[in-house]
């Protein structure tokens, strides 16, 4: 097949392009090489060498889609804007409007397309699902965002609406969404639009809601995301990793290799069509434990530092259930220590890997997206 991968010069996109080339597909990449991820504005050399067609273009531009979609049988739409900055409109133009443009072009041309796979996110769940340990009747709560006045006082846990006991996270399935920041809303818009238009116009579409993806090639120039990058930058430079809140937030990190296998699976499995699936790591890891793992893997001698600040819009805990995708034969297999080792070996080969965490935090404090407790 000839397959278009938007965002194919990026982290997940480049691994996906590799996997598709391994399977003998022809790959075309559409990527705007946006800074800061692409400081040198270059496509990955190895993808060119492997025969991927690399096209520089912007997914917000209809003409770019018209050229990029020419003759393709399937599309992975992975290009996206993801950040903690208050440039709200960019999330929607890059993530949501681009998706509408892609379907506009496919529909206008009546182009046969055997699969569209859009990258969505665990962020569509907002705070995710919880139960109250003290109220047996409250088993599957989907609370809204945490109250600012509680966060300002360092009260991190969500209180039970009935008895105020701290709620405990449960594995969140795909049945309900509750996005509560611009990125999440833009991704929710993207997947909803894709699934609706795919169904209406007979374009088999799948949405994949990735949990936090980790691995080599994840940009370390984007100063505002990527816990593995943040911890590694600190530890390698002899500084303790900083954990926001109390460091007890739970996540289900997933390796980019497991994500790539999920991407490939849904390309050929018709049972996936018209559905949204979680793609997560299926293990609960606290931020604090993750920091300790990075310290051990790097052979450093320090402890995670709990700063008590919080990022506006962060979720307390969120854990995606992967049962639905597991029913199609996929499961995450890469262990977290292996993910960390792979990342640390990769950054060791990157000449410009430096600690930008203080600059990033200062900027976020100034913008009000990172806040101190009172
Ligand atoms: N990395 C994660 O943890 C994670 C988690 C959930 C969802 N996702 C989603 O997975 C997808 C891939 O993420 P990633 O981590 O590989 O990001 P990335 O930043 O490494 O790659 C994104 C690519 O998109 C390109 N791009 C950005 N704006 C563009 C535009 N206007 N036109 C064309 N190209 C543009 C960038 O140049 C970059 O190469 C995104 O849709 C993201 O929202 C990622």
Residue 193 makes CB contacts below 8 A (sequence gap 6+) with 96, 99, 100, 103
Provide the pLDDT confidence category of residue 49 given band limits of 50, 70 and 90: very high
Query: What atom in ligand 1 is closest to the CA of residue 119?
Result: 41
CA–centroid distance, residue 37 to ligand 1 (Å): 9
CA–centroid distance, residue 38 to ligand 1 (Å): 11
Query: What is the distance between the alpha carbons of residues 362 and 369, in angstroms, rounded to a whole number?
Result: 10
- pLDDT tops 80 at residue 224: no
CA–centroid distance, residue 171 to ligand 1 (Å): 25
Query: What is the distance between the alpha carbons of residues 34 and 56, in angstroms, rounded to a whole number?
Result: 10
Q: What is the mean pLDDT of residues 71-89?
A: 92
What Cα–Cα distance (Å) separates residue 359 from each residue in 44, 356, 365, 371? 27, 5, 10, 15
Q: What is the per-residue pLDDT for 83? A: 78
Q: What is the mean pLDDT of residues 272-288?
A: 98
- pLDDT tops 80 at residue 66: yes
Report the pocket of ligand 1 as residue ranges, CB < 6 Å.
6-7, 9-13, 31-34, 37-38, 58-60, 78-82, 94, 119, 121, 210, 212-213, 219
Of 33-47, 57-71, 174-188, 322-336, give the lowest mean pLDDT range: 33-47
Provide the pLDDT confidence category of residue 81 given band limits of 50, 70 and 90: very high
- pLDDT tens digits, 189-198: 999 999 999 9
Q: What is the per-residue pLDDT for 21? A: 98
Residue nearest to atom 19 of ligand 1 (CA): 10
DSSP string over 293-354: HHHHHHT-----EE---EETT--S---B--HHHHTTT------HHHHHHHHHHHHHT-TT--
Across the chain, what does the average pLDDT equal? Answer: 94
Give the mutation target among 4, 82, 251, 277 for probing the ligand 1 site: most ligand atoms within 8 A of CB. Answer: 82
Provide the pLDDT confidence category of residue 351 given band limits of 50, 70 and 90: confident
- pLDDT tops 70 at residue 277: yes
- pLDDT tops 90 at residue 225: no
Q: Which residues face 261 on adjacent strands?
A: none
Tell me, what CATH number does 114's domain have?
3.40.50.720
Q: What percentage of residues in the chain have a pLDDT greater than 90?
A: 83
Of 61-65, 96-100, 167-171, 360-364, give the lowest mean pLDDT range: 360-364
Query: What atom in ligand 1 is closest to the CA of residue 93?
Result: 31
Q: How many CB atoms lie within 10 A of CB 77?
A: 25
Q: What is the mean pLDDT of residues 211-222?
A: 89
Q: What is the per-residue pLDDT for 35? A: 86
Query: What is the distance between the alpha carbons of residues 145 and 324, in angstroms, rounded to a whole number?
Result: 26
Phi, psi (deg, nearest 5) at residue 212: -70, 120
Q: What is the mean pLDDT of residues 217-232?
A: 81
Instruction: State the residue range of the domain holding 182.
Output: 2-371
Q: What is the per-residue pLDDT for 5? A: 99
Phi, psi (deg, nearest 5) at residue 278: -75, 140
CA–centroid distance, residue 209 to ligand 1 (Å): 13
Q: What is the per-residue pLDDT for 97? A: 98
Q: How many CB atoms lie within 10 A of CB 328?
A: 15
Q: What is the mean pLDDT of residues 57-83?
A: 97
Provide the pLDDT confidence category of residue 95 given band limits of 50, 70 and 90: very high
Q: How many domains does the chain have?
A: 1
Give the mutation target among 5, 12, 75 for probing the ligand 1 site: most ligand atoms within 8 A of CB. Answer: 12
Residue nearest to atom 28 of ligand 1 (CA): 80
Instruction: Looking at mean pLDDT, say which of 16-20, 352-356, 364-368 comes out highest.
Output: 16-20
Q: What is the mean pLDDT of residues 182-205?
A: 97
Beta carbons of 327 and 275 less than 8 angstroms apart: no
Give the mutation target among 39, 54, 79, 228 for probing the ligand 1 site: most ligand atoms within 8 A of CB. Answer: 79
CA–centroid distance, residue 292 to ligand 1 (Å): 28
Give the mutation target among 5, 6, 10 for probing the ligand 1 site: most ligand atoms within 8 A of CB. Answer: 10
């Amino acid at each position: 097949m000839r397959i278009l991968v938007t965002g194919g010069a990026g982290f997940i996109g480049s691994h996906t392009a590799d996997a598709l080339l391994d399977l003998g597909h022809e790959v075309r990449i559409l990527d705007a090489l946006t800074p800061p991820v692409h400081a040198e504005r270059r496509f990955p050399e190895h993808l060119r060498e492997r025969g991927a067609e690399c096209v520089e273009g912007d997914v917000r531009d209809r003409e770019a889609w018209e050229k990029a979609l020419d003759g393709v049988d399937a599309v992975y739409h992975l290009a996206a804007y993801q950040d903690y900055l208050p440039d709200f409109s960019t999330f929607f133009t890059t993530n949501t409007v681009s998706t509408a443009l892609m379907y506009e072009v496919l529909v206008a041309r009546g182009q046969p397309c055997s699969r569209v796979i859009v990258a969505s996110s665990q962020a569509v769940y907002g705070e995710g699902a919880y139960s109250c340990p003290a109220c047996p009747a409250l088993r599957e709560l989907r609370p809204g965002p945490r109250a600012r006045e509680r966060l300002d006082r360092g009260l991190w846990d969500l209180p039970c609406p009935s008895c105020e006991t701290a709620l405990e996270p449960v594995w969140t399935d795909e049945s309900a969404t509750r996005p509560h920041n611009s990125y999440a809303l833009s991704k929710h818009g993207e997947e909803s639009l894709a699934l609706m238009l795919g169904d209406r116009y007979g374009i088999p579409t799948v949405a994949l809601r990735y949990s936090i993806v980790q691995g080599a090639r994840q940009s370390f120039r984007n100063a505002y995301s990527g816990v593995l990058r943040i911890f590694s930058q600190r530890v390698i430079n002899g500084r303790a990793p900083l954990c926001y809140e109390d460091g007890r937030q739970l996540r289900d990190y997933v390796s980019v290799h497991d994500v790539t296998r999920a991407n490939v699976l849904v390309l050929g499995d018709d049972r996936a069509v018209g559905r949204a699936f979680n793609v997560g790591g299926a293990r609960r890891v606290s931020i604090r434990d993750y920091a300790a793992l990075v310290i051990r893997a790097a052979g450093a001698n320090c402890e995670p530092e709990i700063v008590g600040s919080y990022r506006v819009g962060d979720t307390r805990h969120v854990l995606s259930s992967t049962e639905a995708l597991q029913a199609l034969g996929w499961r995450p297999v890469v262990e977290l220590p292996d993910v960390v080792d792979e990342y640390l070996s990769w950054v060791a080969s990157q000449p410009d890997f430096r600690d930008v965490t203080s600059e990033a935090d200062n900027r976020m404090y100034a913008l009000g997206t990172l806040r101190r407790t009172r």
